[in-house]
Amino acid sequence: MAVTDDEEFKEWLETQEQPVHIAIAARASLRAFPAVLSKLDEPRLEILALLTGRAILTSAVAVLAPTDDVKDAARSAHSALSALSAAGSALSAAHSARSALSAAISGYSALSARSAHSAALSAHTAGSGYSVRPAAHSATYQDCSDAISQDAHSAFSPRLWYNQGILGVLKPAWDDFTQTAGPDWAFWKKWHQGFLDGTPLDWTLQERIALIADEVWESGAAAVAEAIREIETAYLKETTIAFEDPHDPLEESARFDGKRAKLILARTEVAQPLVHNFESKKFELDHSSDTPTDPVDFAHQSIQAALGHALDTSRPNALKADDEEVLLLKFALETLPKEARHLGPTFHQVHVSLDAKFQSGAYPDALATMHLCNQLKAHVAIFAEADPTVAKHIEVYGKLATPQSVSNDTARDLRKAGKELADVLEDDAQEAIEHLAETIEAGKPPSKYAMAVLTHWLTQIGLYLDKAKKGEARFAWLVSLLKRIWDVWSG
């Protein structure tokens, strides 16, 4: 149903479930958000902007994580915002955010539908002072005809204003905020920009920020900024991804050690780590690995990191927390003894299941999930070679040791890989990749070790190209090559 006016909008909302109502309300509130960001030097207006941001963030999180804790946070955010007052467009933006929270905490679909309608009307009113009300209406109605009605989890994938961009005076208002707001507002810049671009920040990160204690929010922007920095730091440690350049496009909250900026991706013991040197803008081999020496400890750490990344990616094709492979893997990591004979069979089971769903199309070919599957396969291979009991239990040792032959097309692309990626590789990394390609092409069947290393390295580079948006057509070629390599060494 194409929505063209307010009556049709209300009728459409009545046919939808609560998660869709919340998503529609949150997207409308996000469009109005710049209207509340002026005059942050005035304490009353600064706290209004902060609590409006909190309200929108919490309502958006409630779409994907409607837990009791998130609903409690939504109630607290609603109460805090209701106690404030403002005028003009700032008041309308705050009202829109509060209505989005009402949709999130409502116990009835009819009430959440009315709250979503109210959120949209207030957001449109916030835009009217900036001569963008028609565009705001159009964007909201386009939300209704988009995939949001099919899957609320993909609600924030479309660009916030679709192909229009921020219009009218809202654009200079947003531009002024991004250029003049102090460091206490750094998170909110990249947070809102993510929605504008259709690439929201990591949802686990946003959920943790939504759950910041009330007293911290009440203390103002500086206290909230410090709490967010602590959350970001802890999250980065959990996923074992160290970003060490504050100017790198991958992560604004990164660290820089003053000597050599580098990005260390989750490692696997079958491969010497690649690191991204931000000074040269290229990948190089890491000769200073400090990974655990015990292979089981290392496997445990690596799989935890890869699973976290596969779950926490902001893209709509990420794994979900209730996917059967995720539940089984979390059970193994959190409950089973940290021994190869316990972890190996489970890792293998999850790998086989993920691989089968890739082949059937049940799971999309998301690089983060492919990276997890690669890690599982690599560690199962290590366990199987080190312990005959593990090899016997998983009953696939023969396949692990004898992968398929490489087709002529795949061999040709493997030989091209080093040269195709030369602009993002240091000489040592390029030579290593080309050497592995030659080793694989010469082997009948190819070396399992070489396949594992090359798959891991190319996945690392693909993850970087994807997140840094530097891949273009080359990124699609690399994903295709990875899938073909996968078929070879999956046995």
Strand partners, 262: 277
Residues 6+ away with beta carbon under 8 Å from 152: 17, 19, 20, 22, 23, 63
pLDDT at 278: 58
Assess whether 299 and 414 both reside in one domain: yes
For residues 291-314, average pLDDT: 74
pLDDT at 255: 32
Kind and range of the H or E run holding 71: helix 68-82
For residue 82, being part of any structural domain is answered with: yes
Q: Which of 181, 200, 229 is the last residue of a domain?
A: 229
DSSP-derived letter for residue 149 is: G
Assess whether 18 and 103 both reside in one domain: yes
b/e map 317-347, b = 16+ CB within 10 Å: ebbeeebebbeebeebbeeeeeebebbbbbb
For residues 110-133, average pLDDT: 75
Contact between 133 and 100 under an 8 Å Cβ cutoff? The reply is no
Strand partners, 282: 277
Number of domains forming the structure of the chain: 2
For residue 83, being part of any structural domain is answered with: yes
Residue 397 — pLDDT band, cuts 50, 70, 90?
very low
Q: Which of 207, 229, 251 is the last residue of a domain?
A: 229
Assess whether 65 and 189 both reside in one domain: yes
Assess whether 346 and 219 both reside in one domain: no
For residue 239, being part of any structural domain is answered with: no
Instruction: Report residue 307 as tokens.
Output: 């699973």
Residue 260 — pLDDT band, cuts 50, 70, 90?
very low
Kind and range of the H or E run holding 283: strand 282-285
Assess whether 344 and 198 both reside in one domain: no
Give the tens place of pLDDT for each residue, 138-165: 888 888 875 565 565 678 888 888 876 6
For residue 268, being part of any structural domain is answered with: no
For 170-177, the CB contacts below 8 A with 24+ separation are 170/34, 170/35, 170/127, 170/130, 170/132, 173/34, 173/35, 173/37, 173/38, 173/130, 174/34, 174/37, 176/38, 177/34, 177/37, 177/38, 177/40
Give the tens place of pLDDT for each residue, 52-81: 999 999 999 999 888 899 999 999 999 998
Assess whether 325 and 452 both reside in one domain: yes
Sign of the torsion formed by the C-alpha atoms of 77, 308, 369 and 286? positive
pTM of the model: 0.52
Of 192-201, 305-314, 415-424, 431-440, the least confident: 305-314
For residue 254, being part of any structural domain is answered with: no
Assess whether 304 and 436 both reside in one domain: yes
Inform me whether the pLDDT recorded for 259 exceeds 50.
no
Assess whether 185 and 319 both reside in one domain: no
For residue 106, being part of any structural domain is answered with: yes
For residue 326, give its domain range.
295-489
Contact between 74 and 104 under an 8 Å Cβ cutoff? The reply is yes
For residue 265, being part of any structural domain is answered with: no
For residue 278, being part of any structural domain is answered with: no
Instruction: Report residue 136 as tokens.
Output: 């705001």
CA distances to 64, 182, 200, 212, 469 from 221, in Å:
26, 10, 21, 12, 31
